[in-house]
């Protein structure tokens, strides 16, 4: 795996207790020779991950809109900072440049990016592995939502095979690197009849 897109918070107001895992993620990507692709921000977990990756000798590519660049102060330490006009273009660039995806703790933007990536995987618009770093239980409600959706048949159980949860950045990155593509059988993922 040569590139990994990381989705995470760009808020400066989050609890700094989450910073350590974000920094470790950046370091691990650098150590594994995997280029970090992320949202281009200088603050929050975005900034922590990017600076740690760069400091450890890794390559960092940021993708940010002009609007966010003006308001978030995009990180100028990126090896490449791609400035686009819309969020849709930003997400498309981040998806296209990735060979794998990893969600770190974040808010609505992180959730949106994660779900868009997962839905695209379900629709076979890409075949790349997806991971979720459940640092300090941040994503426990997401796991519960999946369980709830499966119980009520809004989500099929095989969908969980497309999302890899973990709590250790090194273990999770290594898992994504060695994950084989899951074949999507329409009858299994989209049953025509209730089971």
Instruction: Please provide the DSSP assignment of 43-110 as one string.
Output: SHHHHHHHHHHHHTT--EEEEEEHHHHHHHT--TT-SEEEEES-HHHHHHHHHHT-SSEEEPS--HHH
Q: Is the model's pLDDT at 13 over the cut of 80?
A: yes
pLDDT at site 181: 82
pLDDT in tens, 119-178: 999 999 999 999 999 999 999 999 999 999 999 999 999 999 999 999 999 999 999 999
For the cut 70, the answer to whether the pLDDT of residue 192 exceeds it is no
- CA distances to 65, 83, 92, 140 from 39, rounded to whole Å, are 9, 10, 12, 24
Q: How far apart are CA 47 and CA 24, in angstroms?
A: 12
Task: State the Cα–Cα distance between residues 35 and 58, nearest whole angstrom.
Answer: 6
CB atoms within 10 A of CB 155: 17
Q: Is the pLDDT of residue 72 over 70?
A: no
* pLDDT (tens digit per residue) in 81-134: 999 999 999 999 999 999 999 999 999 999 999 999 999 999 999 999 999 999
More confident residue, 191 or 20: 20
DSSP 8-state class, residue 3: E
Compute the average pLDDT of residues 27-33. 98
Confidence (pLDDT) at 125 = 94
pLDDT at 180 over 90: no
User: Is 129 within 8 Å of 179 (Cβ atoms)?
Assistant: yes
Burial status of residue 82 (CB atoms within 10 A of its CB: 0-12, 13-18, 19 or more)? middle
CA dihedral 44, 46, 52, 57 (to 10 degrees): -160
* Cβ proximity of 105 and 135 under 8 Å: yes
User: For the residues 74-78, what does the mean pLDDT come to?
Assistant: 94
């Amino acid at each position: 795996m040569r590139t990994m897109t990381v989705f995470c918070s760009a808020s400066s107001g989050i609890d700094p207790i989450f910073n350590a895992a974000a920094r470790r993620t950046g370091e691990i990507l650098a150590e594994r020779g995997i280029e970090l692709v992320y949202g281009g921000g200088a603050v929050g977990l975005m900034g922590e991950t990017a600076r740690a990756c760069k400091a450890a000798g890794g390559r960092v590519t940021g993708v940010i809109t002009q609007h966010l660049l003006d308001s978030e102060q995009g990180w100028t330490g990126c090896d490449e900072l791609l400035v686009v006009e819309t969020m849709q273009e930003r997400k498309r660039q981040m998806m296209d440049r990735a060979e794998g995806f990893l969600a770190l703790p974040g808010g609505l933007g992180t959730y949106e990016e994660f779900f868009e990536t997962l839905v695209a995987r379900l629709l076979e618009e890409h075949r790349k592995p997806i991971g979720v770093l459940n640092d300090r239980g941040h994503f426990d409600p997401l796991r519960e939502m999946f369980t709830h959706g499966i119980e009520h048949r809004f989500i099929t159980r095989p969908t969980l095979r497309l999302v890899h949860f973990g709590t250790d950045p090194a273990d999770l990155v290594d898992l994504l690197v060695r994950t084989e593509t899951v074949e999507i059988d329409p009858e299994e993922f989209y049953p025509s009849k209730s089971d």
